[in-house]
Amino acid sequence: MVEHSRLNNSRSAKIRAQLNYPVIDTDVHTNDFTPAFEDYIANYGGSHLVDELRKAENSRLNSRIEGKDWYQQTPEERQYYRTLRAPWWARVTRNTLDLATYTLPELLHERQAEQGSDYSVLFPNNALAAGGAKPEHRQALQKAINHYHADIYRKYSDRLTPVAGITMTTPEEAIADLEFAVNTLGLKVINIPGGVRRPIKAIADKYPPDQFPEIAKYASYTDFFGLDSEYDYDPFWAKVVELGVPVTTHYGSQGWTGRSSISNYMNNHIGHFADGSQAFAKALFFGGVTRRFPKLRVAMLEGGADWGAHVYIHLVDRYSKRNIKALQNYNPALTNSNELYQLFERFGGEITKGYNLSPEELTHTVLGASFNRYSRDPVGSELEDFAAAGIESIEDIRDLWVNPFFFGSESDDRTIAAAFNDKANPLGVKINAIYSSDVGHWDVPDITLPLAESWELVEEGVISEADFRAYVFENPYRLYTEANPDFFKGTAIESKLSNIEAKSNTENFVTA
C-alpha cells in the first residue's frame, strides 16, 4: 500500500483528488535492472545477444571516434574530429526513492497515486536498443527486449503498459516485430524511431561502406518512412491500423546541422525533439500516409505541442499560396510580354537604352535574369507539393494533420498555449496536446511534481480548465481508443469511467 505520508505530501495527488476524470500519462521512462535484463536476454537467445545489446547500447550512448568517446578525448581531439557532445547526467539519481521507482515495476505501480496518474504508458530506456545491433541479430534482440518488458509489467497491466520497440530498417522487419509484439506478447503501444539512416547510394557505390567505414558514417541521409522513402512502408502502416496499435516516437535531431556542438549538450538538446518529430510528421503528411490511412494515430513525444500548431498554420498559409490554382500566379508562361515591354519602355529607358529587345526577348531576359532558378518547368505531379497528400482544401489539412497526430508536452511546458489557441489556429481547431510527464529523465527530479506543475498553467491563465482536461485525459484517451476501442478494457481507466458514468447521467466525460 502507498505510504500515507508520501501520498499526503504529494501536490499532484491533491490535484488529482479534485478532478472528476482520470489522468493518463503518455510518457514515463523506466530503467532495466541490468543483471536480470541481461540474464533474460541470454536465456532467451544466447550470450551473443547480450554482447550485441552491450555493443548497441555503447554505440547509442557515446559518440566514439578512434575508440574513444567524448570524455576520453582531449579538447584538441574533439575539435579535430568534431565529436558531438552527447547527453550526460540524464537520469534522476539524488532522489533515491524515484531512482528505485523507475527500476522496480511493483514500486512504480504502487506510486501511481502519488504521481496523480490513473494509467501510464511506459518507455523502457532500452526499448529501441536493438536498432544498433548487427543486422543478423537485430530482430532476435528486439523480440527478446520486448518479451522481457511484457513479462515484468504484465501483472501491473491495470495501471501500466510498456511499449514495444519496433525496428524500422525495412517494412518487412517492422511488420515482423509488430506482429510478434501484439499477437504473441499482447503489447498495445509501439515505439518506433522517427527515421533510419541510410547510405547515399551514389557515394556508397564509389566508396563501399565495408571498405570505407569513416566515409559511410557521414555519407548518409535519413529515411522518414513516408515522403521520398526508398521503401514502401504502406504494408507496415496498414498492419498497424489492422492491429489497432497507436504509434509513438521520441525522435530527436541532436547531431543535425545546428545541433552539433562539440562542447555544449544544452545547445544540441533544446528543440531537438520538436525538429526531429517535425521531419517525421511532415514526411507522413506530404507522403500521403495520413491520407491513405485515416485511422492511423501517431504520438510524437518530448517535443511539446506548439510545433504542431506552428506547422499546421504554415501548411494552411502555404497551401493558400501554392495550391494548384494559386500556382498560376507564378507561371512564367502567363507573363504578359506586351504589358511588360510597355512598362519597361515607360519607366526603364535609362536601364534598357541601347539594347533594342523585342517584347518576347525582354520577357525572356527579365525572367531569366531575375527568376531563372525559380522558373524551371515542373512536369506532371511535380507541379504541386500537396498532391500526394491529397489536399484540396484547408479542411483536408485539418483532417490529415490535426486529427491523426498527437503531441507530447511535458508538464511545465508553457508553449502548450499555442496548441490550444483556437483563435490563432486555422478553422478554430485545437492541436492534440497530450500529457507526457517524462518522469524518469533529468527534467523531472520528483515524480510527484508534474501533474501539479501542469495545473499551475491553469492557475496562471496559460490554459483553461477545459484545456487541462483535454490535455491530461480526453486527448490521451482519444489517441489510444481511436486506434483501439478496447485499449482500456480491464484497466483502472475503464473502472473509473464506469464509476463516473454511474454517478452522473448528464455529463459526457469521453469526447467523441
381: three-class secondary structure by DSSP: helix
The HSE-up count of residue 64 (CA atoms within 13 Å, CB side) is 11
Confidence of residue 4 (pLDDT cuts 50, 70, 90): low
> Which triple of cell numbers denotes residue 177?
516485430
What gap in Å lies between CA 365 and CA 372, rounded to an integer?
A: 9
Residue 429 pLDDT: 97
Q: How far apart are CA 383 and CA 308, in angstroms?
A: 26
User: Would you give the DSSP letter of residue 164?
Assistant: E
Worst-scoring range by mean pLDDT, 187-191, 314-318, 365-369, 409-413?
A: 365-369
Per CATH, the homologous superfamily of domain 4-321+394-503 is: Metal-dependent hydrolases (3.20.20.140)
Rounded Cα distance between 411 and 102, Å, is 18
For the record, the C-alpha cell of 26 comes out as: 503518455
Give pLDDT, residue 458: 97
C-alpha cell at 107: 514500486
Instruction: Tell me what pLDDT residue 214 has.
Output: 83
Each residue's pLDDT tens digit, 327-348? 899 888 899 999 999 999 999 9
Mean of the per-residue pLDDT values for the chain?
92
Q: Percentage of the chain surpassing pLDDT 90?
A: 77
Counting Cα atoms < 13 Å in the Cβ hemisphere of 21 gives: 18
Which residue is it, cell 506586351?
A: 338
List the chain domain ranges. 4-321+394-503, 326-383
Q: Is 258 left (phi over 0), alpha (psi -120 to 50) or beta?
A: left
Best CA proximity match to 249, nearest among 285, 195, 300: 300
Residue pair 473/492 in contact (Cβ under 8 Å)? The answer is no
Q: Which residues of 171-197 are buried (b: 16+ CB within 10 A; e: fewer)?
A: bebbbbbbebbbeebebbbbbbbbbbe
- Mean pLDDT along residues 107-111: 97
For residue range 25-51, list pLDDT tens digits in order: 999 999 999 999 999 999 999 999 999
Do residues 363 and 335 touch, judged by C-beta distance below 8 A?
Answer: yes
Given this model, what pLDDT does residue 512 score?
Answer: 35
* Confidence (pLDDT) at 509: 47
Query: Per residue in 337-354, is it b (16+ CB within 10 Å) or e — as a string?
Result: eeebbeebeeeeeeeeee
User: Which residues on adjacent β-strands are paired with residue 25?
Assistant: 120
Report the percent of the chain where pLDDT is more than 70: 93
Quote the CA–CA distance of 44 and 39 in Å, as a whole number.
8
pLDDT in tens, 418-437: 999 999 999 999 999 999 99
Q: Evaluate whether 24 touches 476 at the Cβ level (below 8 Å).
A: yes
* 3 state SS of 263: coil
**β partners of residue 409:** 435
DSSP H/E element including 239: helix 234-243
CA-to-CA distance for 457 and 400, rounded, in angstroms?
Answer: 29
Could you tell me if 404 and 298 are in contact, meaning their C-beta atoms sit under 8 angstroms apart?
A: yes
CA distances from 341 to 283, 346, 371, 456, 511 (A): 43, 9, 17, 64, 61
Find out whether 451 and 115 touch, Cβ atoms under 8 Å: yes
Q: What is the pLDDT of residue 506?
A: 45
Say which residue, 373 or 362, is predicted with more confidence: 362
Position 77 confidence tier, pLDDT thresholds 50, 70, 90: very high
